[in-house]
Every structure is written in structure tokens, then in C-alpha cells.
Copies of this chain bind each other. A is one copy, B any other.
């Protein structure tokens, strides 16, 4: 006999409701490797704002938890089935509703994939700048819910800077519009910014008005370099900033990561690149410069890299540039080839990057594990990776992650630069925020979601957790 709430859903929007076991199983995970203790009671593949409102009205009346979910590519367990929940899948709401060239904006449904929007915009000479590495598979609703970052943030900003307005379904089913179709607008508090990065805990994003940019003119110039060690790489990255240069991309791979990438790509894969002759402690830096002054800027970047002892390749043709960027892109597949990967996401002020790299090595030694790390060196965001075998993150990996989060915060940084808190990191949230901020944030949550049905367990401990397999919540 079906759950009473499922019957209500079926009566209201039957065709969009699924209880097929395979579908219920699929939404227990995202790409973090985290798995919820139980499947949801139903998955609703919402096709319209009205259907989202119908779901929230039923959830409100029956006090049923709702987990908004986009493409399921999250890395913090922010959109996985919580106990007794409806998973509200928004991936079918994937229409680009409007592109205004004159106002340089697009109005999109939340399920539009980041890459699909950019494909649709390219012929108009426009571009949606937020560029998470997952852009081919991640949805704009999810990008906004996590305030996604990516490779281009030091130059082009985080997702928040590209969101002009939102339409959101509130916990009780009301539709709320916020923000503007203009770059400026200061009427009242900035709810659009508040919802950006709120991880589905304040409302369900059903439409976004996003800011577009003219595609940066000219060719992109790529500079790839192998450096003697991680200190040299961090120093070279710092030298770029000190010279007031502003490459669009500046990525750093440490020695442990680079060795795995080189092994993964093989001799053919690295032929003709600076990885061809790789010594054990060597590290990798990749810069891409764009815009009218790209060639001069890239030449200067290459000179600074060389001064730090690098073997440098500078490429002005797109194909070689793509191949060099492919070295960075190979990092995750290279790690995934050897086990499960827990990708962490700390950020520190750029000036503290050398210390953070040293701390990561130290933490790895202390816990007897290798922690291959890639960093967006331009903005201080590091992804230390924990590779393990089996379904569960082992306790010593959590212990190492705990050390790492605390080190990042002690260095003036943050436990998550761009992936979000989700269920994975909520136990550290109050530590970073402090008690006063934590309580005010809970007050905001209670204001928008008084009965606590929106994504319970994400960011904050669920009011009553029956999810025994989850990590101990704070």
C-alpha cells in the first residue's frame, strides 16, 4: 500500500511521480560518494512551476521533507534523499525561456545544464561566465544553489555575480520573485544573494535571470609549466599576482597528483608536453590568458614561471592549449581509476597556499595516506583528494579531513570554497561561523522554512535525525 503522501502526490500530479525502486535508489547519491541511509518515499520529476508548487503545498500540509535536486552532480551530499523525503527532481525543467541580447541576460529554468546554455549562446557572441569544472553535466539551478565556483573566478567572479534575479517556491508553496533585470538595484535586502548558495534549504529555485557577458575577444594563450616542487609552483603563482597579471585560469597540481596524472595519461598522452620527463617531486602550473592583451600577458607569465625554475610550454593555438588543459582535466579520472575519491574543497588566502600545501603533506604523513591535491591557485581554493577503497569513507580519512578543515580555517580560510556544506561538512559549520553567526543563520532558515521541511540535514542538523548511517552531526 502506497505511503499516504505518495497518494496525495499521485492525485495531484500523477504523471510526474515515480516510486520505481531504481529511481528511488539513484537519488540516494550524488558525486560525493555519500549515500543516504534510506531511499526517498518518491521522486517527483517536476515539469513546471505549478508542479513544484503542488509538491510544496502537499509537503507543507503533511510536514514531509523535500530534497530539491538538479543534475545530481553535487560533491557535498546536498541533494540526496533524506529519511522519509520526497526528492524533487528539477532536471526536466530545462528550457531557456529567454535570451535578451540588448539586456545581456537569459531567463532559464533550473534544470538547464551550464554547458547547454553556453552552447545556445555561443552563436550570439554571449557567455554565462560561471564555469564549474562540471559545466557539461551540472545544472544552473545547482550552480546557483551552491554558488558554484570553478576555474575562472579570480578573473570572472563566482556564480553569485552572474545571478540577477530568481523565482523561488517557498516551503508553503507560494511563488516568490526577487532581484532584477538590471545590474543595479538596491530596493530592500538582497534576497537573490541570500538564496545563492543556500543549498535548497530556504526555497526551491524554479527560474533564474542570469547575467551574460560578451565572449572575451581574441585568442586564448596557454602557458603550461613543470616546476621542481610545490613551493616553487606556489611561488610562481604568487609572482603572477605580484606582477598584477590576471590570467583567466591558474591551476596547480602537486607532486602526488601529477605523478598519478602522468601515469594515467601514459607515454603517448604526455608526449610533447612538459610532463614528458617527470621527476618525483615535480609539480604543474597551467595558466590561460585571454582578451586583447593575452599574448603579452602570457609571455610575462611564462617568464615568471621560468624564473621559478620551470620547464615552460607556451601555446597560442587552440588545439595545443586544449591538450595542455587536458592535463589538469585528467586529475579526477586519474584518481578515480585507483579507487573511490573524497574530493575536499578548502580555500585559503592565496598568500597562505605554501603553508596549506605543507600542512596537507604533514597531515597525510600523520595519517599514513597520500593526499593528491589540485588548486585553483588564482583564488586559493584547494581540492585535496582522499582515495580509498570500499563504500564507506574510512575513519582515518575523516580524521585527516578534520585536521585539514581546521588547518584551513586557522589560516584564515574556509572549509568549503565552492562545493557547499551539504551533509558532509555540517559538523564543522558552527566551528567556522562561530556560535552567534550560526544561531543567526538558523534564524534565517527558520524564517523561510518554519517547519523545517526543506532539505533537512543539509547545512544544519535535521530536527529529528533517524538517518543512523550518517556521520555524527554537530
A contact set with B: CB distance below 8 Å: 100-105, 125-126, 146-147, 149, 153-154, 157-158, 160-161, 170, 174, 176-178, 180-191, 193-194, 196-198, 202, 214-215, 217-218, 238, 241-242, 244-246, 291-293, 296, 347-351, 376, 379-381, 412-421, 425, 429, 432-434, 436-438, 440-441, 443-444, 447-448, 459
Contacts and interface: CB of A to CB of B under 8 A. Distances in A.
A184 B241 contact: no
B412 A181 contact: yes
B190 A433 contact: no
A289 to B, nearest CB: 10
A464 to B, nearest CB: 22
A441 B348 CA distance: 33
Given A182-B349, A351-B102, A444-B444, A176 B379 contact: no
Majority SS at the chain A contact face: loop
Given A183-B153, A187-B414, A429-B188, A100 B292 contact: no
A371 to B, nearest CB: 20
B184 A153 contact: yes
A104 B193 CA distance: 23
A444 B161 CA distance: 22
A437 B188 contact: yes
A54 to B, nearest CB: 18
A177 to B, nearest CB: 7
A175 B154 CA distance: 30
Lowest 3 CB-CB distances: which A-B pairs, in order?
A292-B293, A193-B193, A214-B244
B440 A185 contact: no
Number of copies: 2
16 contacts: A102-B238, A149-B186, A153-B184, A160-B190, A170-B436, A176-B437, A180-B413, A184-B381, A186-B197, A186-B414, A186-B421, A189-B202, A190-B193, A191-B440, A191-B441, A214-B244
Contact of A193 (B187, B194, B413): B194
Nearest to A296: B292
B349 A103 contact: yes
A99 to B, nearest CB: 12
B292 A417 contact: no
A424 to B, nearest CB: 12
Given A176-B436, A184-B379, A104 B241 contact: yes
A182 B413 contact: yes
Contacts of A380: 103, 182-184
A60 to B, nearest CB: 15
A169 to B, nearest CB: 11
Given A100-B351, A102-B350, A292-B292, A381 B182 contact: yes
Contacts of A177: 434, 437
A348 B182 contact: yes
Given A176-B434, A214-B246, A292-B296, 5 more contacts: A153-B184, A180-B347, A182-B413, A440-B447, A443-B447
A205 B242 CA distance: 30
A185 B380 CA distance: 10
Nearest to A348: B182
A293 B160 CA distance: 27
A291 B182 CA distance: 24
A416 B242 CA distance: 38
A416 B244 contact: no
A160 to B, nearest CB: 7
Contact of A293 (B181, B215, B291, B421): B291
Contacts of A438: 188
Nearest to A193: B193
B183 A433 contact: no
Contacts of A291: 291-293
Contacts of A242: 101-102
A426 to B, nearest CB: 10
A220 to B, nearest CB: 14
B184 A189 contact: no
B412 A347 contact: no
Nearest to A350: B103
Contact of A433 (B170, B188, B196, B459): B188
Contact of A147 (B190, B197, B214, B244): B190
